[in-house]
Amino acid sequence: VLTCIRGAQEEDPPDPQLMRLDNMLLAEGVAGPEKGGGSAAAAAAAAASGGAADNSIEHSDYRAKLTQIRQIYHTELEKYEQACNEFTTHVMNLLREQSRTRPISPKEIERMVGIIHRKFSSIQMQLKQSTCEAVMILRSRFLDARRKRRNFSKQATEILNEYFYSHLSNPYPSEEAKEELAKKCSITVSQVSNWFGNKRIRYKKNIGKFQEEANLYAAKTAVNAAHAAAAAVQNSQANSPTTPNSGSSGSFNLPNSGDMFLSMQSLNGDSYQGAQVGANVQSQVDTLRHVISQTAGYNDALGGNTMYSPHGLNANGGWQDATTPSSVISPTEGPGSVHSDTSN
């Protein structure tokens, strides 16, 4: 592809260093064919990248700078080439003049030209080197995302937190779930993964600190969860073995609270085969348990276990084994039974 300089010189030594530089410049789009004027190229690149708009905006500055480097590189290169040619013809003229006084072999001329070209190509090499350096610096400055960290929008954080706290017993979104969250939050899937990675580790590290937040988001989604859980319980009750009713009609002003608690009971009770509703309801249980723990006094209705605590966290300090399906949440003891109240 690159034939700009090729014609003139520097093809004899298969210099690996030079190859490296050339390749890099090519890869960075500094060398190679000119693609229209600076801003136009930037705009085109931004448009071509499609997808996240903020991403291209973020990179437009980088693009502009890169174009600048590219232009400098090309003008310098041209200058060098021109100087090289001028100098060559100058020397040729000198030699021609001398040829009047003494015989000059074509071989000698060739040798002189070779020397000149080598000199200039070493200069070019330096140019390429410094251009590469500039590009590298630019990259680290603009593309290292850590330097350009932006907090996610309030709304995005909201969505992520909602998911996290409503799946607290197993906050590992599937690939599809990540994609959906990414879409909803206008961020990338890796950002979602990063977020959950950070959230899990930080939540686990200091649960007390997140308690308030947890309750907030639990309450936030409680209404929806209640509806969903109630609906789910309608289905599960059809083939559920027993449905004990230990009253506990809550002063909890949610619609269908009665069903909600029944559902809780059957889920946390000893022998529940979580296969049917299990996974779906589990998230709602998480949410509900938060609310319940907050309102206090309903613990007995939930099987007697101390409810809140790092539920979902096992003794080893991890969430339940990620390899086991979430539908089997230790049948004998509810998810909340781990209980190692370390909050605060």
In angstroms, the Cα distances linking 152 to 1, 160, 166 are 41, 10, 20
Nearer to DNA, 119 or 202 (CB): 202
Nearer to DNA, 191 or 287 (CB): 191
Q: How far is the CB of 336 from DNA (least distance, A)?
A: 19
Nearer to DNA, 62 or 152 (CB): 152
Which one, 107 or 147, has the nearer CB to DNA? Answer: 147
Contact 289, 310 (CB under 8 A): no
Nearer to DNA, 44 or 145 (CB): 145
Q: Which helix (H) or strand (E) is 177 found in, with range?
A: helix 175-185
Q: Closest approach of Cβ 157 to DNA, in Å?
A: 5
Rounded to the nearest whole angstrom, what is the least distance from the CB of residue 165 to DNA in the complex? 14
| CB 191 to DNA: min, Å | 4
Q: 């997808």: which residue's tokens?
A: 51
Least distance in angstroms from the C-beta of 91 to DNA: 49
Residue number with CB closer to DNA (100 or 147)? 147
For 256, other C-beta atoms within 10 Å of its C-beta total 16
DSSP-based three-state secondary structure for 313: strand
CA distance readout (Å), 37 to 40, 73, 307: 5, 15, 65
Q: Under the rule (CB under 7 A), what is the footprint of DNA? A: 144-152, 157, 172, 175, 187, 190-191, 193-198, 200-202, 204, 209, 317-319, 322
In the complex, the smallest distance separating the C-beta of residue 195 from DNA, rounded to whole angstroms, is 5
CA separation for the pair 42, 334 (Å, rounded): 57
Judge contact between 329 and 216, C-beta under 8 A: no
Rg from Cα positions in the chain: 34
